[in-house]
């Protein structure tokens, strides 16, 4: 597990031991080792038919936005018009997390202050995506933010989670 911080390794080990870390698409089966987690991340899926089917529903061709990402791009345009941000770009950068493991930032954003942020738009979190954004947040010098669209029952808008 080279390239990962000691704190990250410890967190993964603790989650494996207490049974809270699972590979998406494998039901309640626990991940038996850190090596299994990395293998799942490197493959982009767990190898199960369920996982492939779930991913197929939400995957777009590179450079094309899904409906949630389109809605978020409109939100970013609003922030730009208000002067909170000065620039954003969809899928502008791809970060290397480890050998054969990459993370493509959904929206790379420059705030009015000049600070750079990586915004990840999610309809539903898969375990491998959460691990990747945590690793990226520990490895790169910008703020990572995950957003999920709130339903109308929840008042609309965006649920924001910051990874630092």
- C-alpha–C-alpha distance, residues 119 and 52, integer Å: 24
pTM above 0.85, yes or no: no
- Over the stretch 42-83, which tens digit does the pLDDT of each residue have? 554 444 454 455 454 556 677 789 999 999 999 999 999 999
Domain boundaries, the chain: 6-163
d(CA 133, CA 117): 12
**Residue 53 CB coordination number (10 Å):** 10
Nearest-angstrom CA–CA distance, 67 and 35: 35
Architecture of the CATH domain 6-163: 3-Layer(aba) Sandwich (3.40)
* The token pair that represents 52 in the structure block: 């492939």
For position 91, what pLDDT does the model report?
A: 96
Q: What angle do CA 69, 151, 163 make, to 5 degrees?
A: 55
Closest CA to 89 of 107, 110, 65, 102: 107
Q: Measured between alpha carbons, how far is 43 from 20 in angstroms, rounded to an integer? A: 21
- For the segment 141-161, what is each residue's pLDDT rounded down to a tens digit? 999 999 999 988 999 899 999
What tokens appear for 162 in the block? 């910051």
């Amino acid at each position: 597990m080279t390239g990962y911080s000691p704190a990250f390794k410890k967190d993964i080990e603790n989650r494996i031991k207490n049974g809270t870390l699972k590979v998406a698409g494998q039901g309640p089966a626990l991940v038996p080792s850190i090596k299994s987690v990395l293998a799942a991340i490197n493959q982009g899926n767990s190898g199960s038919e369920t996982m492939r089917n779930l991913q197929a529903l939400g995957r777009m061709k590179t450079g094309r936005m899904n409906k949630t990402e389109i809605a978020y791009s409109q939100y970013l345009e609003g922030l730009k018009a208000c002067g909170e941000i000065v620039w954003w770009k969809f899928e502008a950068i791809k970060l290397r997390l480890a050998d054969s493991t990459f993370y493509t930032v959904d929206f790379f954003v420059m705030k009015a202050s000049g600070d750079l942020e990586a915004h990840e738009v999610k309809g539903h979190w898969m375990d491998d995506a959460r691990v990747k954004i945590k690793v990226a947040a520990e490895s790169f010098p910008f703020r990572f933010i995950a957003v999920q669209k709130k339903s109308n029952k929840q008042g609309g808008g965006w649920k924001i989670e910051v990874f630092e």
